[in-house]
Structure 1
Amino acid sequence: MTIGPCSGDLPGTLGEAMPFLCEGAAVTLAAAGGGSLLAVAIALPVGLAAVSGRRAVRAAARAYLEFFRGTSVLVQLFWIYYAMPLLTGYQLEKTFAGVLALGLNLGAYGSEVVRGALRSVPRGQWEAAVALNLSPYRRMRHVILPQAFVAMIPPMNNLLIELLKATSLLSVITVADLTYQGRLLVNSGSDQAAVFALLLVVYFLFAYAITLAMRAVERRAGRLVGRGGPPRRRPPPLPAPPSTAGEA
């Protein structure tokens, strides 16, 4: 009989906790994935707006960034889920409200990453693109963004991990994520130390998977813009030993 990691047939506390933690892990992954997509979708245009030549566009980007970066994500979550329905008359589904709060908050941090990466591209590259008479779109698409993208990846990796960990806040609005399921297990009498140790392990595995994926993306992006270094060459073969045929 094959026993999976989410099976209730596992020994001891594992069998008691893993089925519930696996259900919560699926919710956590869905919330982290949705929040990440929203954060990236917000970060790129806001980051581009932050380096715009138009003052009004830069001001709007800065207002969004400073507001969501300067206020607590937990307060933003409460406001979206509890306060906004009082003003609009519409109650958002709780998981969607959590994804929206995480995406808006981490999107603000991500937009600063995008802005910094764009500013890190050497000035000569910008001037060369202008000298080639490229349109603003083609300058950004073919010259600036490919180089800036490589610089974005390490800090974006950190932000995605922070977003993953921030999904634990969704338990305060009763989203049945990993942390919520762990608290239910502890409240029902499960071994507290064992349950929280399992939570640590699961969050670590998810974060490590994000790191491995982003490192692979960074290597690939670096090679595309010529920053991956020269290809490794195999050392030349050792010379063959002299033949001893005919020696006697």
Structure 2
Amino acid sequence: FKDGSAPDTSAAGVRALVAARTHLAASEVTDVLWSSDFRPRAALADRFRDGRIFLAGDAAHVHSPAGGQGLNTSVQDAYNLGWKLGQVLRHDAPAALLDTYEQERRPVAAEMLGLSTRIHRGEAGRGAATRQLGLGYREGPLSTGAAGALRAGDRAPDGPLPDGTTLFDTLRGPHFTLLVVGTDAELPPLDPELVRVRELDAYAPYGKGVFLVRPDGYVGWAGDDARGLAEWLRGVGASVARYA
């Protein structure tokens, strides 16, 4: 309890609590078969990587069950780390790419841990933040540039496509996606297995520009044209030079 007193888990204590917090009378609680004192645990690892060891999900952060932020954050950890491991192990990306996992994910986990704790204590309510659709990495080490309505680090917006599919359908998978929106910018040579290109008419959630979307659905690089794109791709193991 907030006053520091220990909860009364006896049958009488449970009846009194139910009567105080619900529309039921104490006498309507006829049997108490089992009761316990639940105390949530909140914890955040000091670091998410130590050499070849990586922490993700509940190994990295433990949340109150209020709202499900712990599960959502854990799934995001896994995807963030997964695509980076794939690039290093299969596509010769610099090993330093793995350091960006902690740099991007630990601040997100810390923020969600604080939010879920406040919700559990009744100090905050559920809202847009608990849905986690506004999370991003604008200040992260892999975010470069801006164009149209977006900055690198933003979550890539969805939208309908003329063939009846959606942008999220295009993004789905372990590949990078280069969206060329409302421009005829000249592109560097790209490996189609690693980077899939989709040209679109100008679209309000994006505006106009060139947007490189990471496998986890976040804009990694953005620009009015493609200058600087090749350098960014080399840094994540999607080098264009060897495919030219």
Q: TM-score range by the shorter chain?
A: under 0.3
More helix by share: 1
TM-score, with structure 1 as normaliser: 0.26
Greater RCO, 1 or 2 (C-alpha within 8 Å, sep 6+): 1
